[in-house]
Chain A
Amino acid sequence: MRQTQVAHRSGLRDEQQRLYAPCRARCPVHIDVPGYLAAIGEGRFTDALEIVLERCPLPSVCGRVCLHPCEDGCRRCLLDDPIAIAQLKRAAADFGVYPRPEHPRLRPEKIAIVGSGPTGLTAAHDLANRGFQVTLYEEKPLLGGTMRYGIPNYRLPDYALDRDIDYILSAGIAVNTGIRVGRDVMLDELAASHRAVVITAGLQGSRALPIPGVDSPRVLTALPFLEASSRGEDVDLGNRVVVVGGGNVAMDVARTARRQGASDVHVVCLESSDEIPASPQEIHDADIEGITLHYSWGPRSISHEAGTCALNTVRCTSVFNAEKRFAPSFDESVAECFEADTIIFAIGQSADVGDLGIALTSRGAPQIDPLTLKTSIGNVYAAGDVVSGPTKIIDAIAAGHQVAATAYRDITCDTEPLRLLNEEIDTLGEVPDTMANKLETRRRIQMEHLEFFDAVKTFDEIEGGYTEYEAAREAQRCLSCTTGARLTREKCSLCLTCIRVCPHGAPILSTDGYVYFDAAACNACGACQSQCPSQAIVLEGHSEQEMSRRVERQLWAAEMDTALMFACSSTPIVPNLGGTPPRIITVTCLLRVSERTVLEALQNGATRVVFAGCVESTCRFLHARELVRQRSGHIEVLLSRIGMTNAFDFVEHKADDLDWHLR
């Protein structure tokens, strides 16, 4: 997927090219991040969950363990902290209600999926939702693959994984667990009885180094050890454990060993501290849990003495050669010996698909045609880590979408899903200084988590997750990139009101006499949209029709004599009106509630409409409170002219009021 990083004027945009916020552009599956953050910011967790599920069928998993490439692109990075995009996805999954499956018209074609990791589950989800009869084959007793047996429970507990899997299976997917394709059932049988077979077996083989002394019961490899731990087995490691490897799996192994009772855990890796592939967060967490990292040591042999062993290493002087290939060189004169009760190798995984009977590459992975994703058997596809080597979960999900769309194309000749997946996208540049100077610093809200001295005693989940209130407040830090103003030139009367109300200079009057919007300078406050006399401006992330539907839903369930309250999501406190409790609609900003929406609500049965405004310290948007006050005044005048003096009220609270709205 090609991306171009250009500051962008939506008016000049080629309509064929999609403009995505950087977070969305960087996400391998392009989850509509600003969309679901806006929903969470208004306390609409189920809507947020539905938006995530459009692109990612594993929100509960990704909300916990995704390495969030999105957050690196967040335009808030340079201001204070990126939005906690991944953790908010978890909030959507925690508080939202998973939708019921839609059950499309069933097609006659059967598809088998071999392996139930993220790629397999995603492919199964996509294909089942397009009507195919999908069967999942899994060697292990439970679904989930690496997510269940590789990622430790303190990062991804089983209940969180099961929530996503239950949702995926609800589309009507048959499951065959405890069956290894190639042993219990042959691949060519599957290929003959199914229209397509997709191999998403992941990386099941754990490697150890071919060094003297490695064949010993005191020497383990990563995956069997992690799997035993995740099944709840006690593994006797002794006190002192040495983990060999520098990736995220090595950190998982070390931290799991700590929880298996080892009090003295060392990680020995080939790379220097600058080159280590593990994520900084994982290294930090390992460090906090008392795990010692030893950089730039290359294992040479393992020596054994009564009951203990020792890893003999020499200094690694460089890991990569001039062509950036893996070619470590060593200084044999500098040696170090790490004594241990147990040594665990976490130096990489490999594909274990030798018994399938398909052509393999030299690395042991299925040989595929990169365009068709097909293996040496005509209707057998392969995708995910088994083909690409180790990747992030979210990359594996993207691979699942890709292989599902490819198989769908081959069966139905409909290329549309595949085309959409690979469409060219465009993203925004940095926040311009004119805008950055006016934005307040708001640091990320930190999640509750177990303290390390408690955390290392159990496999309990470390992160407690946001509360609904924290999630909403964190989501409100979002700059709403690309969800802002879009101008329909044909309707514009060139009144220039947008230019006059925008606090960030996003609308630009060009020398050709038209108004353009600089999407990079718009944070979707809605000031221009709320004032445009020709209704030529809409906000990408907001629609009047949707607002009308929300009003209708609230009033439909309302009793007689009910007030309707529009509460700004930044409102610290919802005022007590006395009498029947009002129906409350929480909105990003009251500027999104037009005069017309208020009148419509009164016409449709609300006895009274109340605006509950925010306070200066919580307001997200510059000047918005002033415009809301003007609008409220205008509504009051209009209503008093038709004799409805008490039908509208605008309540603002003092700054020292308690902050409990959305709690």
Chain B
Amino acid sequence: MIVVRQKPVDEICAFVTRHRRVLLVGCNTCAAVALAGGEKEVDLMAELLRLATSRKASFVEFSGTVLTRQCEPEFLEQLDSEGYDAILSMACGAGVALLASSVDVPVYPALDTLFIGAAQGLASWEAECSACGQCVLGRTAGICPITRCAKGILNGPCGGMSDGRCELGDRDCAWVLIFQRLEKFGRSEEFLEIAEPKDHSLRTRLVTWDAHEDGIR
């Protein structure tokens, strides 16, 4: 899922205080699961903004609603934004963008989109994928070097590794983890194969994808 985090509320305040009626729109898919944009967070954010703005003697009205997914036009059609002069979207970047394209008032993000990740337990996620467009997990035993290696290199480890740790000091070296897992499955010789450079244009040029055009559907 897409992992998101709430922006500091002072940053959000700066967006909304110049408006009169603001609608907060949550998203009950990834943003809710990431405990940042579900109904509870929408209600709480509205209350917090009410408190913050009333302390500054500015009179902004806040209401909240939640869509099932903000990144689908059909769900956005269910949104009634009549009478609001701004929208605060509590969804990932995709949700904010689609919402902004479908209404005539300014849409502001309340969340920062962090990564594609997996849950590690209560309120904790790990980045697992960088959406590079050319998956290498097949030869790296399911550990993504693009995401987990600080340099994102395809042939590692680099000289900065010591005792299995990355020189940044905040993580294990991804390539050591890859080696250990390949070894576990008796595939350590694959580690010696040199990987060709990736086509990074896939990342920068692939702005839309239509399955029909590709003849897949």
The prevalent SS among residues of B at the interface is: helix
A 470-527 contacts with B by CB, 8 A: 491, 493-497, 500-501
Taking CB as reference atom, which chain A residue is nearest B29?
A493
- In the bound assembly, the distance between CA atoms of A595 and B42 in angstroms comes to 12
Taking CB as reference atom, which chain A residue is nearest B54?
A603
- Given A494-B33, A497-B122, A533-B33, does the pair A596, B47 have CB atoms closer than 8 Å? yes
B13 adjacent to chain A (CB < 8 Å): yes
Q: How far is the CB of B71 from chain A (nearest CB, A)?
A: 15
Q: Which of A495, A534, A641 contacts B9 (CB 8 A)?
A: A641
B51 adjacent to chain A (CB < 8 Å): yes
- In the bound assembly, the distance between CA atoms of A495 and B121 in angstroms comes to 11
| CB <8 Å contact, B47 and A603 | yes
Q: Which of B8, B35, B47 contacts A497 (CB 8 A)?
A: B35
Q: Encode contact with B along A315-349: 1 for CB under 8 Å, 0 otherwise.
A: 00000000000000000000000000000000000
User: How many of B's residues come within 8 Å of A, CB to CB?
Assistant: 29
A600 adjacent to chain B (CB < 8 Å): yes
Q: Which of B37, B52, B119 contacts A642 (CB 8 A)?
A: B52
User: What chain A residues lie within 8 Å of B28 (beta carbons)?
Assistant: 491, 493, 534
- Given A534-B38, A595-B44, does the pair A642, B32 have CB atoms closer than 8 Å? no
| CB <8 Å contact, A500 and B122 | yes
B40 adjacent to chain A (CB < 8 Å): yes
- Given A534-B32, A599-B44, does the pair A642, B51 have CB atoms closer than 8 Å? yes
A307 adjacent to chain B (CB < 8 Å): no
B 1-44 contacts with A by CB, 8 A: 8-10, 13, 28-29, 32-33, 35-41, 43-44
B55 adjacent to chain A (CB < 8 Å): yes
Q: How far is the CB of B37 from chain A (nearest CB, A)?
A: 8
| CB <8 Å contact, B122 and A642 | no
Interface centre among A496, A533, A596, A599 (most CB of B within 10 A): A533
| CB <8 Å contact, B40 and A534 | yes
B103 adjacent to chain A (CB < 8 Å): no
User: What chain B residues lie within 8 Å of A594 (beta carbons)?
Assistant: 40, 44
A 528-554 contacts with B by CB, 8 A: 531-535
A288 adjacent to chain B (CB < 8 Å): no
User: What chain B residues lie within 8 Å of A644 (beta carbons)?
Assistant: 51, 55
| CB <8 Å contact, A493 and B38 | yes
| CB <8 Å contact, A533 and B48 | no
A377 adjacent to chain B (CB < 8 Å): no
- Given A493-B28, A533-B32, A533-B38, does the pair A641, B55 have CB atoms closer than 8 Å? no
Q: Encode contact with B along A592-636: 1 for CB under 8 Å, 0 otherwise.
A: 001110011011000000000000000000000000000000000
User: What chain A residues lie within 8 Å of B47 (beta carbons)?
Assistant: 596, 599-600, 603
User: What chain B residues lie within 8 Å of A643 (beta carbons)?
Assistant: 52, 55
| CB <8 Å contact, B13 and A535 | no
B139 adjacent to chain A (CB < 8 Å): no
User: What chain A residues lie within 8 Å of B38 (beta carbons)?
Assistant: 493, 495, 533-535
A 387-443 contacts with B by CB, 8 A: none
B50 adjacent to chain A (CB < 8 Å): yes
B 110-155 contacts with A by CB, 8 A: 119, 121-123
Interface centre among B13, B37, B48 (most CB of A within 10 A): B48
User: What chain A residues lie within 8 Å of B41 (beta carbons)?
Assistant: 533
| CB <8 Å contact, A533 and B40 | yes
| CB <8 Å contact, B33 and A495 | yes
| CB <8 Å contact, A641 and B8 | yes
| CB <8 Å contact, B55 and A642 | yes
| CB <8 Å contact, B55 and A493 | no
| CB <8 Å contact, A491 and B48 | no
A638 adjacent to chain B (CB < 8 Å): yes
Taking CB as reference atom, which chain B residue is nearest A630?
B123
Q: How far is the CB of A411 from chain B (nearest CB, A)?
A: 48
| CB <8 Å contact, B122 and A535 | no
- Given A493-B28, A533-B38, does the pair A642, B48 have CB atoms closer than 8 Å? yes
| CB <8 Å contact, A641 and B10 | yes
| CB <8 Å contact, A599 and B51 | yes
| CB <8 Å contact, B43 and A533 | no
Taking CB as reference atom, which chain A residue is nearest B9?
A641
User: What chain A residues lie within 8 Å of B9 (beta carbons)?
Assistant: 638, 641-642
Q: How far is the CB of A513 from chain B (nearest CB, A)?
A: 14
| CB <8 Å contact, A602 and B43 | no
User: What chain A residues lie within 8 Å of B121 (beta carbons)?
Assistant: 500
Q: Which of A491, A531, A535, A642 contacts B43 (CB 8 A)?
A: A535
Taking CB as reference atom, which chain A residue is nearest B37?
A533
| CB <8 Å contact, A602 and B33 | no
Q: Which of A494, A501, A534, A602 contacts B39 (CB 8 A)?
A: A534
Q: Beyond the given A493-B32, A493-B38, could you list 4 further A-B residue pairs with CB under 8 A, ordered by the A residue number? A: A500-B121, A535-B40, A594-B40, A603-B54
Q: Which residues on B are within 8 Å of A, measured CB to CB? A: 8-10, 13, 28-29, 32-33, 35-41, 43-44, 47-48, 50-52, 54-55, 66, 119, 121-123
Q: Which residues on A are within 8 Å of B, measured CB to CB? A: 491, 493-497, 500-501, 531-535, 594-596, 599-600, 602-603, 638, 641-644
7 A-B residue pairs with Cβ-Cβ distance under 8 Å, sorted by A, are A500-B121, A533-B35, A533-B40, A534-B40, A599-B47, A642-B10, A643-B52
Going nearest first, the 4 A-B pairs with the smallest beta carbon separation are A533-B38, A642-B52, A493-B32, A495-B33
